[in-house]
C-alpha cells in the first residue's frame, strides 16, 4: 500500500516525494513538479530557534544589529548561506563546496514563486527571469560585497542557471557557451590574488544578457569599470599580479615560452616578485591556463589574435625587466635583450622605443624638443606604458568578447535584458588611496539608488493595494554623493582643477585646496580641521569622509598621478606605429592629433558611473549582498567583528529598517488562505466565496487586532512578525491532526481504488475465463463425437484393406498396442513375456521383440565386468559339455566356479618347490581309486599350464602332459567319478587314472579349458572302460540308486551306485 509521506529538509521546506511516475499531485496544492511538491517558505518559521528566520524582515527585534548577526550565525552554522531581507538576498561565503547547485536544485527553483522555496541565488535569478518574461521589462541583478565575499561566484551561478534552465537551440547553445566561457577569460585578465581573496576581481563588471521573445539567451554585452592598472607594476606583500601572467608561465608550452622570450620561473620578472607570492596552494595555474585557452577558442578568438594577445602579455613582463643606468640626469637602458624582445613582440622599432623610454617630447612654440628623463621619470614612464598597454588591451578584450556575444539577427529587435552588476563593495583598508576613493564613491551612488528604488517599490506596492503610505525616515546619503561629485565644489572637480592648473601642483596643494573649499562640510575633515582627539588618529597627508557605512581616511599620496593617468606623447607615438593589430586598435593615431587633453580618471569614472545609474534606473533591480565570514578563508569560521563591519558597510540594517517601516509580511490572498485555512472551521476545507472575504473571516477567527494587519486589494499586510509566528505555531500544532486525517483519507482512497481495480479486473478475468472454459467444453464435445463416429465406422471396416473409413481405427489399434507394449516390455533377458499383437502388427511385433532382446543383451553385456565375463565363459563351456547329459549339472549352474579349491596352506611347500616356475591354474582335493583293488586314496589334483599333476602329501605321484591325455570319461549320473585316459604304450604312465571330485563339473570344465580337451570329454551311460596297464582293461559300472555307493563288485568291476537327481 502506498503511504502519503512528507519530508522536512534542513531549510524548513516540506517536500512531498515523487510517485511511481515521477510526479506528485497534492489536492489543493498548485505546484506540481518532478522532484516533489514544495510548501511555501514560511514552513521554516517553526524551526526558527535552530536555523533562524529565512527573512530578516521577520526578526522581532529588527533594530538590533546583534539579533541580525545572531540570525546569520544560526543559518551559517547549518550551512544555510542564503537569507532574505524582503526581496534582497544576503549571501555568506561558505568557503567550501555545498551540494545546492546541482541540476535538480535548478529544476526545483525554476518557475516557482519567490517565497515558495528557501532562499537561494537561483530564486533571485528565476524571479528576475520570470518578471522579465511576464512584464516584458528589463531586469538587473546587483551583486555587491567586499573582496572575498563571493560576488564573482554568485554571478557565475546566475549565468549557469540561465544556461541550464532557459530554452535552447544550436545557435542559443553557442551563445550560452560563450557567456559561460567569458568568465574564465575575464578572471584571468582582471582577477588577482589579494590578501583577502585568492580570486579577487580587480575591476567592476556589468553584463547584459539578452533574451529573445521565447526567453532564450541570444546575446550579451559587458561593460568594465576601473581596472586596477597599478597592480601591473606593483603588488602589496602577499598579493599577486593578474592571473594571466602566472598561467602563461606555468601552463604555456615550451615552444610558446621560447618564442615569447619567457622562462618558466615567475621570480625572473620584476612585475611578479613585488608581492613575494608567486604560487598559491588554492590556485592551479597550469590547469587554469588550459581552461583559458579553450575559452578563447569557444568565444571566437582566431589563432593570430591569441598569438598577438600573448605577445602583449609577454611584453608587459619584459617592460618590468627593462633596467636603467647612466647619469642621474641622462639615463640609458642597460638591458638590450629586453628591448629586442619588446621590439619583436610589439612590432616596433627598437631604437625608437629605447628613445621613447628615456626621453619625453616637449612642444614649445610649435617646435618639438626631446628632453632626457632622470632615473625616477624614466622608471615612471616605463611603468606608465606597461599599465597603459595592459589596461587598453583589457578594454579591447572586453570589446572582442562583446563582439562574439552580439545578437546579429535584425529580424527581431524586441530583446529583453537581464543585467548582472558584479562590482566592488565598500572598501576600508589601513591605507586607502585613489582606488578606494573611487570604489566607495561608486558604493555611495549604488546605496543611494538602492534606497530610492527600495522605497519606491514599497510605495508603489502600498499604492497598488490601496494601503495608506506612511513616510519613512531614512539616512539620505545624497549629501555625501554631492560632496564627491558636485560641480566646482566636489572633491572630483577640485582634484581635476588641481591636475589641470599650471604651476607646481602636488598632492599637498590638492589637500590644502580641499581644506579651503570644504572646510565646513559635516562629512569632511582633515588633520588641520580636526579636533585634538581626531588628530591623534589622522596623518597630515590624509582626509576623512563620513560615508553612509562609516568613516574612511584617504591618503592623498598619488592622487594626482593616478587621476592624470597620462602617457608621454612619444610613448603613444611608438605604440601607434606597432604592427600588432591589437595595439593598433588600442592606440588610435587620431589620439595624437587631438589637441584636447583627455579626461582624468576620476572624471571618466564619474561619467561611466552616471551611465551605469541610468542603466540601472531603467531596469527593475534585484539585489545580492555578499558577506565574507572570516579573513582566513576557512569554512565554518564565523568572525562576528568582521561580519558586523560588513553589515554596516553594506547598509543591511538600513535596508531592513526601511523594509520594516511599514508591514513586515505581505502575501496574496490566495496564498495566505491556502496555507492557513485549516485554522478556521469556516474556511476549512474549502472557501467558495471571494478570497478577501475568506481572509477576513480567517483573521477574525484568529483574533487579529485591527492595528496588526491591513487588507489590500489582493494582499494581506501583517505588521508584526510575532503575529505571523503565532499563526505559524498554531499551524504546526494543527498539522499533526491534518496529517492523520490526510493519511487516513489517503489510505482509504488508495484501498478503495485498489479494491475497485481488483474487482473490475476480477470480473473481467472471470468473464474471460468462463468463455474460455465454455469454448473448450464445446470443442471437446465436438472432438469426442467425431472420435466415436470414426471409431465405430473403423470397427465395422476393420477386416478390410486400409481405407479412409478404417484408417483411424487401425491407427488407434496400432497406437494402443504400442502404448501397451511400452508399459509391458520385458524387464530382463530371462523374461520371455510379450503382449499379443493385432493381426496387422504380427511381423512388426516380432522385429520389435528381437530388437528389444538384442538391446537388453547388449545392455547386459555392457555392464558385465571382466571377472564375471570369465565366469560366464566357463559356465557356457560347462553348459556345452554337460547340459542335458549329466544328472548333477543343473545343481552346478547357480554355483560360481572358483579359481582354486586349495589355499596356499593346503599345499605342501615341497610340492610348490617341485613345481618351480610352473604356474598353478587350478587345484582341487580328489579321491584316487587304485586300478587293481579300487582302494580309495586322498590326493590333490593340480592343473598347470602344460600338465595335470596328482599330489600325494609332499610328493608328485603322477604328471600327465596335456598332449598325452587321450580323453576324459565321466558317467551321466550324479556321481563325481571321472577317468583320465593316457596312452598304453607310455612307459611313464601305469594306466588310466580313476578320480572322484565333489566339484566334478567345475573340475572337468577347468581341465577341458586348460588342456584344450573340451571335445575329448565323454559322458557315458552304464559303464566306462579304462586301461589297467600292459594291455589289460578294467570296467566301471554305473547304476542308479538311492544313495552314492562305490565298491568292488564280485565280477571284479568297480561298481558305482548314484542317485538320479533329474529325469532327462
Q: How far apart are CA 561 and CA 541, in angstroms?
A: 15
Give dist(CA 761, CA 755) in Å, integer: 10
How high does pLDDT run on average in the chain?
Answer: 84
As a whole number of angstroms, the distance between CA 813 and CA 838 comes to 8
- pLDDT of residue 828 exceeding 60: yes
Average pLDDT in the 75-103 region?
90
1025 CB-near residues (< 8 Å, 6+ apart): 1033, 1034, 1035
Specify the DSSP element, H or E, that contains 524.
strand 524-526
Give the burial string for 303-341 (b: 16+ CB within 10 Å, else e): eebeebbbbbbbbbbbbbbbebeeeeeebebeeeebbeb
| pLDDT beyond 80 at 329 | no
CB-hemisphere CA count at 13 Å for 951?
A: 23
Predicted pLDDT at 1034: 87
Q: Which residues pair with 955 in a beta bridge?
A: 952
Rounded to whole angstroms, the Cα distance separating 268 from 321 reads: 8
Summarised one tens digit per residue, pLDDT across range 234-249 is 888 889 999 999 999 9
**Predicted confidence (pLDDT) at residue 799 exceeds the cutoff of 80:** yes
**185 or 470, greater pLDDT:** 185
Asked if 941 contacts 923 with a C-beta cutoff of 8 angstroms, the reply is: yes
**Residue labelled with grid coordinates 593616478:** 562
Predicted local distance difference test score (pLDDT) of residue 594: 62
With a cut of 70, say whether residue 441 has pLDDT above it.
yes
- pLDDT of 1004: 92
Instruction: For residues 46 and 1059, give the distance between their C-alpha atoms in angstroms, rounded to a whole number.
Output: 120
pLDDT score of 98 more than 80: yes
pLDDT of residue 413: 62
Confidence of residue 117 (pLDDT cuts 50, 70, 90): confident
Cβ-contact 852, 825 below 8 angstroms: yes
In angstroms, rounded to a whole number, what is the distance separating the alpha carbons of residues 965 and 962?
5
Positive or negative: CA dihedral 24, 26, 30, 31: negative
Q: What is the CA radius of gyration of the chain?
A: 60
Q: What is the DSSP letter of 242?
A: B
How many Å apart are CA 709 and CA 707, to the nearest integer? 6
Which pLDDT score is estimated for 1061? 76
Three cell numbers at 864?
558385465
Cα–Cα dist 1024/1046, whole Å:
14
Residue 773, helix vs strand vs coil = helix
Q: What is the pLDDT of residue 364?
A: 65
Whether omega before 685 lies within 30 degrees of 0, making that bond cis, reads yes
Per-residue pLDDT for 573 more than 50?
yes
- pLDDT of residue 5 exceeding 50: no
pLDDT at 86: 79
What's the rounded Cα separation, in Å, for the pair 467 and 710?
Answer: 8
d(CA 308, CA 400): 13
pLDDT (0 to 100) of residue 459: 73
* pLDDT band (50, 70, 90) for residue 62: confident
More confident residue, 643 or 705: 643
Which whole number is the average pLDDT over 25-41? 37
**What pLDDT score was predicted for residue 785?**
94
Nearest to 679 by CA among 706, 711, 703, 701: 701
Per the CB < 8 A criterion, the answer to whether 583 and 315 are in contact is no
**Which of 79-88, 424-433, 613-622, 960-969 is least confident?**
424-433
Q: Where are the beta strands (DSSP E) in 261-346?
A: 324-326, 331-333
Distance CA 897, CA 999 (A): 9
3-state DSSP call for residue 949? strand
DSSP class per residue in 472-516: -----THHHHHHHH-TTTSHHHHHHHHHHSSS---HHHHHHHHHH
- Whether 51 and 80 have beta carbons less than 8 Å apart is answered as yes
Q: What is the pLDDT of residue 911?
A: 84
Phi-psi region of 200 (alpha: psi -120 to 50; beta: other; left: phi over 0): beta
How far is CA 749 from each of CA 21, 331, 641, 658, 746, rounded to the nearest angstrom? 18, 95, 57, 50, 5
User: Taking 70 as the threshold, does the pLDDT of residue 48 lie above it?
Assistant: no
Torsions phi, psi for 774 (to 5 deg): -60, -45
pLDDT score of 18 more than 60: no
pTM reported for the whole predicted model: 0.61
Checking if the pLDDT of 603 tops 50, the result is: yes
Q: Where are the alpha helices (H) located in 836-897, listed in sequence order?
A: 842-863, 866-882, 889-892
Mean pLDDT of 705-729: 76
Averaged pLDDT, 203-222: 88
| Three-state secondary-structure class, residue 286 | helix
The residue among 432, 426, 418 whose CA lies nearest residue 626 is 426
d(CA 824, CA 811): 20
pLDDT at residue 26 above 50? no
pLDDT, mean of residues 460-471 = 75
For residue 754, CA distances in Å to 76, 714, 743, 747 come to 47, 42, 16, 10
**Edge-to-edge order in the sheet of strand 715-718:** 665-668, 715-718, 709-711
Mode of pairing for the β-strands spanning 955-961 and 665-668: unpaired
Q: Which runs of E-coded beta strand occur in 278-342?
A: 324-326, 331-333
Chain segment 244-291, per-residue pLDDT in tens: 999 999 999 999 999 999 999 999 999 999 888 888 888 899 999 999
Q: Minimal CA–CA distance to 427: which of 562, 526, 563, 549? A: 549
How far is Cα 168 from Cα 215, in angstroms, rounded to an integer?
9
> Phi, psi (5° rounding) for residue 502?
-70, 160
Rounded Cα–Cα distance for residues 631 and 633 (Å): 6
- Phi/psi at 515 (nearest 5 deg)? -65, -35
Q: Quick count: other Cβ atoms within 10 Å of Cβ 778?
A: 10
Q: Cβ contacts of residue 198 below 8 Å, gap of 6+?
A: 280, 282, 283, 633
CA distance 472 to 661: 6
pLDDT of residue 686: 83
Residues near 729 by beta carbon (within 8 Å), at least 6 away in sequence: 46
Q: Measure the CA–CA gap between 126 and 134, rounded to whole angstroms.
A: 12
Contact 125, 166 (CB under 8 A): no
* φ, ψ (nearest 5 deg) of residue 1003: -65, -45
Average pLDDT for residues 812-838, to the nearest whole number? 88
Which SS3 state, helix, strand or coil, does residue 1057 take?
strand
User: Strand 204-211 and strand 217-225: pairing?
Assistant: antiparallel
* Mean pLDDT confidence for 88-95: 92
* Number of helical H runs and strand E runs in the chain: 35, 34
Could you tell me which residues are beta bridge partners of residue 948? 943, 960
* Residue position matching grid coordinates 554585452: 221
pLDDT at position 780: 95
Percent of the chain exceeding pLDDT 90 equals 26
What pLDDT is attached to residue 275? 86
What pLDDT, on the 0 to 100 scale, is given for residue 412?
A: 53
Question: Active-site residue numbers?
Answer: 147-148, 152, 197, 200-201, 425, 427
**Which has the minimum average pLDDT: 91-100, 392-401, 692-701, 915-924?**
692-701
For the ranges 313-317, 710-714, 873-877, 1053-1057, the lowest mean pLDDT is seen at 710-714
Kindly state the cell numbers that stand for 881.
Answer: 559339455
Structure confidence at residue 767 (pLDDT): 96
**Strand, coil or helix: what is 236?**
coil
- Give the span between the Cα atoms of 434 and 558, in whole angstroms: 7
Question: In the predicted model, is pLDDT for residue 545 greater than 60?
Answer: yes
Element (H, E) at 1041: strand 1032-1041
Helix ranges (H only) for 565-632 are 569-576, 581-586, 590-593, 601-617
- Please tell me the distance from the alpha carbon of residue 360 to that of residue 328, in angstroms, as a whole number: 15
Q: Nearest to residue 599, comparing CAs of 560, 556, 565, 561?
A: 565
Out of 121-135, 371-385, 977-991, 1011-1025, least confident range: 977-991
Alpha helices in 885-1024 (DSSP H): 889-892, 909-915, 1000-1011
How high is the pLDDT of residue 3?
A: 43
Residue 36 pLDDT more than 50?
no
Amino acid at each position: 500500500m502506498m503511504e502519503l509521506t512528507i519530508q522536512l529538509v534542513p531549510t524548513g521546506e516540506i517536500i512531498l516525494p515523487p510517485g511511481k511516475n515521477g510526479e506528485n499531485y497534492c489536492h489543493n496544492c498548485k505546484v506540481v513538479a518532478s522532484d516533489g511538491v514544495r510548501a511555501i517558505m514560511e514552513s521554516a518559521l517553526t524551526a526558527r530557534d535552530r536555523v533562524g528566520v529565512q527573512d530578516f524582515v521577520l526578526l522581532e527585534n529588527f533594530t538590533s544589529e546583534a539579533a541580525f548577526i545572531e540570525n546569520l550565525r544560526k543559518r551559517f552554522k547549518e550551512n544555510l548561506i542564503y537569507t532574505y531581507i524582503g526581496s534582497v538576498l544576503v549571501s555568506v561565503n561558505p568557503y567550501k563546496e555545498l551540494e545546492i547547485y546541482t541540476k535538480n536544485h535548478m529544476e526545483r527553483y525554476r518557475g516557482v514563486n519567490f517565497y515558495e522555496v528557501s532562499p537561494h541565488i537561483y530564486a533571485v535569478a528565476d524571479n528576475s527571469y520570470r518578471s522579465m518574461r511576464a512584464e516584458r521589462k528589463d531586469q538587473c541583478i546587483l551583486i555587491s560585497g567586499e573582496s572575498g565575499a563571493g560576488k564573482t561566484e554568485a554571478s557565475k551561478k546566475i549565468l549557469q542557471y540561465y544556461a541550464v534552465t532557459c530554452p535552447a537551440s544550436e545557435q542559443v547553445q553557442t551563445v550560452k557557451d560563450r557567456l559561460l566561457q567569458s568568465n574564465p577569460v575575464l578572471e584571468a585578465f582582471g582577477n588577482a590574488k589579494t590578501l583577502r581573496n585568492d580570486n579577487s576581481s580587480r575591476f567592476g563588471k556589468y553584463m547584459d544578457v539578452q533574451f529573445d521573445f521565447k526567453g532564450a539567451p541570444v546575446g550579451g554585452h559587458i561593460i568594465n569599470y576601473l581596472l586596477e592598472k597599478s597592480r601591473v607594476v606593483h603588488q602589496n606583500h602577499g598579493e599577486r599580479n593578474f592571473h594571466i601572467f602566472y598561467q602563461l608561465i606555468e601552463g604555456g608550452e615550451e615552444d610558446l615560452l621560447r618564442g615569447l622570450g619567457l622562462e618558466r620561473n615567475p621570480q625572473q620578472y620584476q612585475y611578479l616578485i613585488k608581492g613575494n607570492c608567486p604560487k598559491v596552494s588554492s590556485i592551479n595555474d597550469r590547469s587554469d591556463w588550459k581552461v583559458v585557452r579553450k575559452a578563447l577558442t569557444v568565444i571566437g578568438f582566431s589563432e593570430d589574435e591569441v598569438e598577438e594577445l600573448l605577445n602583449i602579455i609577454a611584453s608587459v613582463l619584459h617592460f618590468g625587466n627593462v633596467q636603467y643606468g647612466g647619469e642621474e640626469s641622462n639615463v640609458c637602458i642597460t638591458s638590450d635583450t629586453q628591448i629586442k624582445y619588446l621590439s619583436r613582440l610589439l612590432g616596433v622599432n627598437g631604437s625608437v622605443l629605447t628613445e621613447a623610454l628615456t626621453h619625453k617630447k616637449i612642444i614649445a612654440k610649435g617646435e618639438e624638443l626631446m628632453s632626457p628623463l632622470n632615473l625616477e621619470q624614466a622608471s615612471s614612464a616605463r611603468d606608465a606604458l606597461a599599465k597603459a598597454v595592459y589596461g587598453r588591451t583589457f578594454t579591447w578584450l572586453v570589446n572582442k568578447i562583446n563582439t562574439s556575444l552580439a545578437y546579429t539577427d535584425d529580424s527581431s529587435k524586441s530583446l529583453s535584458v537581464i543585467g548582472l552588476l558584479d562590482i566592488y563593495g565598500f572598501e576600508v583598508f589601513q591605507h586607502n588611496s585613489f582606488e578606494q576613493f573611487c570604489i566607495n564613491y561608486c558604493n555611495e551612488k549604488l546605496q543611494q539608488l538602492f534606497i530610492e528604488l527600495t522605497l519606491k517599490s514599497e510605495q508603489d506596492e502600498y499604492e497598488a493595494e490601496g494601503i495608506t503610505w506612511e513616510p519613512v525616515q531614512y539616512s539620505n546619503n545624497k549629501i555625501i554623493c554631492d560632496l564627491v561629485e558636485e560641480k566646482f565644489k566636489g572633491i572630483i572637480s577640485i582634484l581635476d582643477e588641481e591636475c589641470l592648473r599650471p604651476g607646481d601642483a602636488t598632492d599637498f596643494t590638492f589637500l590644502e585646496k580641499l581644506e579651503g573649499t570644504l572646510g565646513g562640510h559635516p562629512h569632511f575633515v582633515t588633520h588641520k580641521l580636526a579636533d585634538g582627539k581626531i588628530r591623534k588618529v589622522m596623518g597630515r597627508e590624509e582626509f576623512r569622509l563620513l560615508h553612509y557605512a562609516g568613516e574612511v581616511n584617504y591618503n592623498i599620496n598619488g592622487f594626482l598621478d593616478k587621476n592624470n593617468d597620462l602617457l608621454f606623447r612619444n610613448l603613444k607615438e611608438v605604440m601607434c606605429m606597432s604592427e600588432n593589430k591589437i595595439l593598433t586598435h588600442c592606440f588610435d593615431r587620431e589620439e595624437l592629433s587631438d589637441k584636447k587633453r583627455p579626461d582624468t580618471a576620476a572624471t571618466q569614472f564619474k561619467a561611466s558611473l552616471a551611465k551605469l545609474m541610468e542603466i540601472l534606473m531603467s531596469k527593475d533591480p534585484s539585489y545580492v549582498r555578499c558577506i565574507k565570514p572570516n579573513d582566513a578563508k576557512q569554512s565554518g569560521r564565523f568572525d562576528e567583528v568582521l561580519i558586523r563591519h560588513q553589515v554596516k558597510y553594506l547598509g543591511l540594517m538600513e535596508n531592513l529598517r526601511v523594509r520594516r517601516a511599514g508591514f513586515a509580511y505581505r502575501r496574496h490572498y490566495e496564498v495566505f488562505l491556502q496555507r492557513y485555512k485549516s485554522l478556521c472551521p469556516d474556511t476549512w476545507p474549502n472557501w467558495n466565496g471571494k478570497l478577501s472575504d475568506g481572509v477576513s473571516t480567517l483573521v477574525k477567527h484568529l483574533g487579529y487586532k485591527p492595528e496588526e494587519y491591513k487588507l489590500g486589494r489582493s494582499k494581506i499586510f501583517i505588521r508584526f512578525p510575532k503575529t505571523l509566528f503565532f499563526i505559524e505555531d498554531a499551524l504546526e500544532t494543527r498539522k499533526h491532526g491534518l496529517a492523520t486525517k490526510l493519511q487516513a483519507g489517503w489510505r482509504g482512497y488508495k484501498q478503495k481504488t485498489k479494491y475497485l481495480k481488483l474487482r473490475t479486473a476480477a470480473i473481467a478475468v472471470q468473464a474471460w475465463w468462463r468463455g474460455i472454459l465454455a469454448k473448450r467444453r464445446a470443442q471437446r464435445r465436438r472432438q469426442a463425437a467425431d472420435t466415436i463416429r470414426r471409431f465405430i465406422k473403423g470397427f465395422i471396416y476393420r477386416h478390410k484393406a486400409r481405407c479412409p473409413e478404417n484408417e483411424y481405427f487401425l491407427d488407434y489399434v496400432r497406437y494402443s498396442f504400442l502404448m501397451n507394449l511400452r508399459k509391458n516390455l520385458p524387464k530382463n533377458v530371462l523374461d520371455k513375456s510379450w503382449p499379443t499383437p493385432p493381426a496387422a502388427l504380427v511381423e512388426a511385433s516380432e522385429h520389435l521383440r528381437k530388437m528389444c532382446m538384442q538391446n537388453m543383451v547388449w545392455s547386459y553385456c555392457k555392464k558385465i565386468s571382466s571377472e564375471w565375463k570369465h565366469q560366464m565363459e566357463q559356465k557356457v563351456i560347462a553348459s556345452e559339455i554337460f547340459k542335458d547329459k549329466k544328472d548333477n549339472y543343473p545343481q552346478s549352474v547357480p554355483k560360481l566356479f572358483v579359481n582354486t579349491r586349495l589355499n596356499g596352506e593346503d599345499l605342501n611347500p615341497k610340492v610348490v618347490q617341485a613345481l618351480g616356475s610352473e604356474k598353478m591354474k587350478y587345484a582341487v582335493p580328489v579321491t584316487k581309486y587304485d586300478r587293481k583293488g579300487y582302494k580309495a586314496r586322498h590326493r590333490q589334483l593340480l592343473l598347470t599350464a602344460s600338465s595335470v599333476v596328482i599330489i600325494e602329501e609332499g610328493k608328485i605321484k603322477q604328471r600327465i602332459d596335456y598332449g598325452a591325455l587321450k580323453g576324459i570319461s565321466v558317467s551321466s549320473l550324479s556321481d563325481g567319478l571321472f577317468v583320465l585316459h593316457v596312452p598304453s604304450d607310455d612307459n611313464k604312465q601305469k594306466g588310466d587314472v580313476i578320480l572322484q571330485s565333489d566339484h566334478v563339473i567345475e573340475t572337468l570344465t577347468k581341465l577341458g579349458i586348460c588342456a584344450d580337451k573340451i571335445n575329448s570329454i565323454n559322458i557315458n551311460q552304464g559303464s566306462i572302460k579304462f586301461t589297467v596297464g600292459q594291455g589289460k582293461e578294467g570296467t566301471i559300472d554305473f547304476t542308479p540308486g538311492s544313495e552314492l555307493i562305490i565298491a568292488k563288485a564280485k565280477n571284479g568291476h568297480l561298481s558305482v551306485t548314484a542317485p538320479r537327481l533329474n529325469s532327462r
